[in-house]
Structure 1
């Protein structure tokens, strides 16, 4: 795909379409179950910028800020919000279906917790993104599809 994305005869819009069609699905495979830490988020944003710089043929040694590159590409950072949207849709689906997936996703399994710093749960990352306050509010919102979709749409609009 490098020859297609870096071709000067192809417009940026077409290159962006190819990127969204062929590369992003591979990049985001299984993202519904990821827990995105700050470090992971930075790596994903860096990857997105790397693709854009490649399409625009901007060297990584060129002293251009990411904002300048985004303006040249006539776009904004979309990858993280796409991932979060997919996670929220999957989480709503799992919460409406009662079963083992529901228990595992909420982290409400019985037993001892392991020593050390606990891993971040999917629900914690989503409640921060949705600005739902507590995780119980987010879980209750999933029962009403209309309310859940509204929460997701508001979070996507805010661009967080």
Structure 2
């Protein structure tokens, strides 16, 4: 993740004259950020497992971009929420990644081949000692508001239901 963040920040610096120009509307600058910088950051995000710490890093990166676009120095006593209000924006990076993950997961699970086995994690053998790692399915089940992973797996089979569930979770911003 840190490599992705570094690459996105380097690309931001290359486009700094456009993205920090006060003569260009904030909406146009946000669209440029969304088109040219965020894809660099989100490359391969469908396979990421997003923990709370990882989510905080993504939100910090998103705010780094926004504060520089608005030219808010760190010494200014402005909170991130105030910066979001100035830009008339909500935090959307993590929600966008979760939506992409849900779309990808639905596609893979309906296909039902080797990817299905890898994603669900149903393999023979012993589990390792200690706390188990969080799986993509666990994070998406929580994001979608499903209690269990098994409920999520049954919802994936119905394409329209799955599309509606992921769209509703995206709109709610959970």
Same fold (TM over 0.5): yes
1:151 aligns with 2:174: no
Task: Report Cα offsets for 1:22-50 as digits up to 9, x if no partner.
Answer: 00001001110100000000000010011
What's 1:10 paired with?
24
1:48 aligns with 2:62: yes
Deviation readout 1:53-103 (Å, 9 max, x if unpaired): 000000122111111000100111010110000000001011101111101
Counterpart mapping for 1:1-160 below 5 A: 1-160=15-174
The number of aligned residues is 160
For each residue in 1:117-141, what CA deviation from the matched residue of structure 2 results, as whole angstroms up to 9, or x when unmatched? 2110000000000011110111111
Q: Which runs of 5+ in 1 are unaligned?
A: none
* TM-score, scaled relative to structure 2: 0.90
Give unmatched runs, 5+ long, in structure 2: 1-14
Q: For the residues of structure 2 that align with 1:49 and 1:92, how far apart are their CA atoms?
A: 30
Give the Cα–Cα distance (whole angstroms) in 2 for the partners of residues 60 and 44 of structure 1. Answer: 18
Following TM superposition, where does structure 1 have runs of at least 4 consecutive aligned residues deviating by more than 3 angstroms? Answer: none
